[in-house]
Amino acid sequence: MTGEPPFHPLPRLAPGSTIGMLGAGQLGRMTALAAAKLGYKTHVYAPDAAGSPAAQVSAAATVADWDDLAALERFARSVDVVTLEWENVPVATAEHLRRFTTLHPGPNVLSVAQDRIAEKSFVNALGIATAPWRAAGSAEEVARAMAEIGPRCVLKSTRLGYDGKGQARLEADSDAAAAWEAIGGGKPGADGTAVQGIVEGFVTFACEVSVIVARGADGVMVAYPAVENRHKNGILDVTIAPASPEKVSAATAAEADHIARRIAEALDLVGVLAVEMFVTADGAVLVNEMAPRPHNSGHWTMDACASCQFEQLVRAVCGLPLGSVGRMADAEMTNLIGDDVLRWPDLLAEPGARLHLYGKAEARPGRKMGHVNRLFPRR
Site for ligand AMP in 348-377 (CB under 6 A): none
154 binds ligand AMP (CB under 6 A): yes
What DSSP letter does each residue of 276-335 carry, written as one string?
A: EEEEETT--EEEEEEESS--GGGTTHHHHBSS-HHHHHHHHHTTPPP----BSSEEEEEE
Count other Cβ atoms within 10 Å, centred on residue 348.
10
**Beta strands 221-223 and 227-232: pairing type?**
unpaired
157 binds ligand AMP (CB under 6 A): no
Q: What is the largest CA-CA distance in the chain?
A: 70
202 binds ligand AMP (CB under 6 A): yes
Nearer to ligand AMP by C-beta: 200 or 311?
A: 200
Nearer to ligand AMP by C-beta: 154 or 285?
A: 154
**Rounded least distance, CB 230 to ligand AMP, Å:** 9
> Which has the closest alpha carbon to 83: 379, 283, 310?
310
**Rounded least distance, CB 289 to ligand AMP, Å:** 5
188 binds ligand AMP (CB under 6 A): no
200 binds ligand AMP (CB under 6 A): yes
Q: Which of 119, 208, 255, 303 binds ligand AMP (CB under 6 A)?
A: 208
**Rounded least distance, CB 229 to ligand AMP, Å:** 7
Nearer to ligand AMP by C-beta: 42 or 288?
A: 288
Nearer to ligand AMP by C-beta: 58 or 288?
A: 288
**Rounded least distance, CB 97 to ligand AMP, Å:** 27
Helices (H) and strands (E) in the chain, counts: 11, 17
| Piece in contact with ligand AMP (CB under 6 A), picked from 10-18, 24-32, 60-68, 197-205 | 197-205
Distance from chain centroid for Cα 164: 14
123 binds ligand AMP (CB under 6 A): no
41-46: strand order across its sheet: 60-63, 41-46, 18-22, 81-84
139 binds ligand AMP (CB under 6 A): no
DSSP assignment letter at 13: P
**Which string of x and - marks every residue 285-304 that binds ligand AMP (by CB under 6 A)?**
---xx---------------
What b/e sequence results for 130-154 when a residue is b if at least 16 CB atoms lie within 10 Å of its CB, and e otherwise?
bbbbbebeebebbbebbeebeeebb
228 binds ligand AMP (CB under 6 A): no
Nearer to ligand AMP by C-beta: 66 or 133?
A: 133
CB 159 within 8 A of CB 189: yes
**Rounded least distance, CB 227 to ligand AMP, Å:** 13
Residue 261's beta-bridge partner residues? none
203 binds ligand AMP (CB under 6 A): yes
**Rounded least distance, CB 170 to ligand AMP, Å:** 10
Q: Which of 72, 131, 146, 226 binds ligand AMP (CB under 6 A)?
A: 131
Site for ligand AMP in 30-89 (CB under 6 A): none
Q: Which of 187, 231, 232, 364 binds ligand AMP (CB under 6 A)?
A: 231
Q: Which of 188, 234, 321, 366 binds ligand AMP (CB under 6 A)?
A: 234
Residue 291's beta-bridge partner residues? 274
Count other Cβ atoms within 10 Å, centred on residue 121.
14
- Rg, the chain, Cα only: 21
**Rounded least distance, CB 220 to ligand AMP, Å:** 28
Phi-psi region of 163 (alpha: psi -120 to 50; beta: other; left: phi over 0): left
How far apart, in whole angstroms, are the C-alpha atoms of residue 331 and residue 256? 19
Query: Which residues would be at the binding site for ligand AMP (CB under 6 A)?
Result: 131, 154, 161, 164, 200, 202-203, 208, 231, 234, 276, 288-289
